[in-house]
Amino acid sequence: MAAKHRSALGRAAKAKRRPSAALKRGAAVSPRKNVRTKDPLARAKALVERGAFGEAITVAESLLDADPRYWPAREFIAHILWRRGYPKEAILFLESAIMTAPDKAEIQTRLASTLMLAAQQSGLMMERAVELAEKILARHVPTVPLLLDLSNLNFRCGRPDKALRTAERAVAEFPDSKSAKMNLSVALLMHGRKEDAVNAYATILKPYRIRTGANADNVRRQYANLAAEYDNNPLHQYFSARMAKFIADTIGPIGGLRMLDAGCGTGLLGTLLNPERLVGIDLSPEMIERARARNAYADLIAGDLVETMSKLDTRFDLIASSCVLYHLADLAPYFRQAARLLEPGGHLFISTDPAPDDMDIGESGPGEYAHSRAYLRRLAAKTGFAEIAIAIMGHRATPGFWCAFRKGSPANTDSAHGR
């Protein structure tokens, strides 16, 4: 690659200036002698670890000067461009890596998955990524990531039927893959087949067996690491907005109500609803500090959810737990505390991962649990709640149960929906 191209890309990596047209194309140049270093990208990778992105790209481009078909350098440059905020240029370099890489299944399918993920996350050049991935799929035995990424990208391109067929193929070819089964549940949900989506998700579950362990400590550590960037997480934004809309659609504005945000995280849900008085509980002190910075909560408490609820002596009109209860296996103590804290006629809103009705509690992974509608309804009835709604909607990307209960008789039984 010419020196002016190297310097342009180096400047882009350092100062986020726009790379030249040739660099956007990932343009090849005339072949020169092959690079015969044992690990020619080792120095460039070491530079990246030190934050010297411009120098790293210069090293990678020198490898392309010596051998324009040295595709790992193209993949490496794409990675740097992505990190430096040039998604389109990164995608073009990934395309050029695919075109110059050997036509071997393990290389081509991995590069295609990376390309599709970049296209999906950026929303750029998605049709081209699908077309290229399908050509690779036609030549090689598929991998789980290739099929799942292709299914997801087809949905983004407005092809739900094609996406579902690809998801079904992934399960058929890789019947032991948990990822393939979860992806199928998402594809069915997006296709409008809600009960089928729940049934597909159920295939990953194991019946819950009571055991001792340090789940709370593991969760606390997990969210301590997530706290700083949690508000930038699209899934967090999604399920907070989903719960806020679910509450508003069910009971209307809550401006005059007292609300307990049970599992408040960074406080996004509470600020979306803006009740008269807002109290939050979260296991993670780091999350609590993020919520405190919003200046929306009258009180914030760090601690175990049910244990902290048991120590409260105030009353609330509304309790909500959005994408929280999958961390708890037995929800009976939670329901008892919610019933104690709510005023008569108060509302409880929760979301859970879904289990089939013949499995009260299912285990989807270490420390993660799903709950059936039969189980939730039984707990609600025992603790004095009437069901308003149990709807199947996206939860943690996969389907989930979004539940609305009222302490006492429902205000309008005709509003109940779901099975």
For 384-405, write each residue's pLDDT tens digit: 999 999 999 999 889 999 999 9
Structure tokens at 128: 């081209």
Section 1-27 average pLDDT: 39
Would you call 172 exposed, middle or buried from its count of C-beta atoms within 10 A (0-12, 13-18, 19+)?
exposed
Q: What is the pTM of this model?
A: 0.79
pLDDT recorded at residue 31: 35
Whether the CB-CB separation of 286 and 300 falls below 8 Å is answered with: no
Q: Does 215-415 match 3-202 at the fold level?
A: no
Helices 71-83 and 105-122: crossing angle in degrees, nearest 10, is 20
Choice among 56-65, 93-102, 246-255 with the minimum mean pLDDT: 56-65
Q: What is the CATH number of domain 3-202?
A: 1.25.40.10
Torsion of CA 289, 291, 296, 301, to 10 degrees: -70
pLDDT recorded at residue 59: 87
Is pLDDT at 294 greater than 50 in this prediction?
yes
Structure tokens at 396: 């943690």
Residue type for 252, please?
A: G
Section 205-220 average pLDDT: 68
Whether the CB-CB separation of 269 and 261 falls below 8 Å is answered with: yes
Would you call 4 exposed, middle or buried from its count of C-beta atoms within 10 A (0-12, 13-18, 19+)?
exposed
Domain spans in the chain, listed from the N-terminal domain onward: 3-202, 215-415
Residue type for 329, please?
A: A
pLDDT recorded at residue 412: 45
Mapped onto helix, strand or coil, the DSSP state of residue 206 is: strand
Mapped onto helix, strand or coil, the DSSP state of residue 278 is: strand
Of 319, 351, 352, the closest CA to residue 336 belongs to 319
- The predicted-structure confidence for 166-194, as pLDDT tens digits, reads as follows 999 999 999 999 999 999 999 999 999 99
Sorted by sequence, the CB contacts under 8 Å of residue 28 that are 6+ apart come out as 64, 68, 69, 96, 100
**Range ranked top by mean pLDDT from 11-15, 45-49, 56-60, 308-312:** 308-312
CATH of 215-415, one of 3.30.450.20, 3.90.580.10, 3.40.50.720, 3.40.50.150: 3.40.50.150
pLDDT recorded at residue 211: 60
Mapped onto helix, strand or coil, the DSSP state of residue 233 is: coil
Band the pLDDT of 225: cuts 50, 70, 90.
low
Section 2-27 average pLDDT: 39
Section 244-267 average pLDDT: 94
Whether the CB-CB separation of 337 and 391 falls below 8 Å is answered with: no
- The predicted-structure confidence for 65-94, as pLDDT tens digits, reads as follows 889 999 999 999 999 999 889 999 999 999
Sorted by sequence, the CB contacts under 8 Å of residue 232 that are 6+ apart come out as none
Is pLDDT at 20 greater than 90 in this prediction?
no
Residue type for 287, please?
A: M
Instruction: Give the dihedral sign, CA 363/364/369/374.
Output: negative
pLDDT recorded at residue 226: 54
- Percent of the chain's residues with pLDDT above 90: 67
Would you call 146 exposed, middle or buried from its count of C-beta atoms within 10 A (0-12, 13-18, 19+)?
buried
Section 269-288 average pLDDT: 92
Residue 206's DSSP bridge partners are 363
Which residue has 């740097």 as its token pair? 80
Section 91-109 average pLDDT: 94
Give me the DSSP letters along 49-82: HTT-HHHHHHHHHHHHHH-TT-HHHHHHHHHHHH
Band the pLDDT of 417: cuts 50, 70, 90.
very low
Whether the CB-CB separation of 280 and 297 falls below 8 Å is answered with: yes
pLDDT recorded at residue 397: 84
Residue 316's DSSP bridge partners are 342
C-alpha pair distances (Å), 83 with each of 72, 78, 86, 313? 17, 9, 8, 49
Mean pLDDT score of the chain = 85
pLDDT recorded at residue 219: 62
Which residue has 């190297």 as its token pair? 6
Whole-number Å distance between alpha carbons of 128 and 124: 9
pLDDT recorded at residue 239: 77
- Percent of the chain's residues with pLDDT above 70: 81
Higher pLDDT, 84 or 338: 338
Torsion of CA 262, 263, 268, 273, to 10 degrees: -10
| Continuous segment of H or E residues that includes residue 13 | helix 3-15
Section 120-140 average pLDDT: 93
